[in-house]
Amino acid sequence: MIIVICGLPGTGKSTLANILSKKINATILRTDEIRKKLFKNPTYSEEEKKLIYRIMLMTANYFAKGKIPCILDATFSKEESRREISLIAEKNKVPIHFIECICDENIVRKRIGNKKRNLSDANWEIYLKIKKEYEPIKFEHTIIDTSDGIGVAFKKLEEKLKFRGIFRS
């Protein structure tokens, strides 16, 4: 199984991924972590982003072949990258589920500005840049609003995943 947790910076993707990974015993693959391991001073250029996504997708393909559950934690802001991971799941005959995190912009601004983030370098300017480039998801997926806090958001996610048969009590 592949679960893609996507959305703009500061919307709670990594926090939800951490909680969910423990509940379903899945490995998390994060673009932020891959970037930090590869580049001492990341530039966030298009070439750099493509390389990081390529590595993430190759690794997800490896997990899918072994039927090892994994969670992909990344913005997945482009339809092309979503299509690529969907093809990997289809080729390996594993289910794939997309979860899009959303959040009130005022809350995101506070989250990005108020805390030292472990892996993400995203600031308000990066958030606005990615927001401008973000292509809407055109297929069925789960949307989770984290504006009321991660605890509330996870309970909503848990119910939606139970309904889809992904999560069991």
Question: Percent of the chain scored above 90 by pLDDT?
Answer: 64
On average, the pLDDT of the chain sits at 89
Interatomic CA distance for residues 10 and 163, integer angstroms: 27
The candidate with the shortest Cα–Cα distance to 88, out of 121, 65, 119, 117, is 65
Write down the pLDDT at residue 3. Answer: 95
pLDDT tens-place string over residues 63-121: 999 989 999 999 999 999 999 999 999 999 999 999 999 999 999 999 887 655 566 77
DSSP letter (8 states) at residue 101: E
Can you list the domains of the chain with their CATH numbers?
Answer: 2-163 (3.40.50.300)
If residue 71 lies in a helix (H) or strand (E), which one and from where to where?
strand 70-73
Record the pTM.
Answer: 0.90
Say whether pLDDT at 31 is over 90: yes
Residues 123 and 112 sit within 8 Å (Cβ to Cβ): yes
Secondary structure (DSSP) of 21-47: HHHHT-EEEEHHHHHHHH-SS----HH
Residues 124 and 12 sit within 8 Å (Cβ to Cβ): no
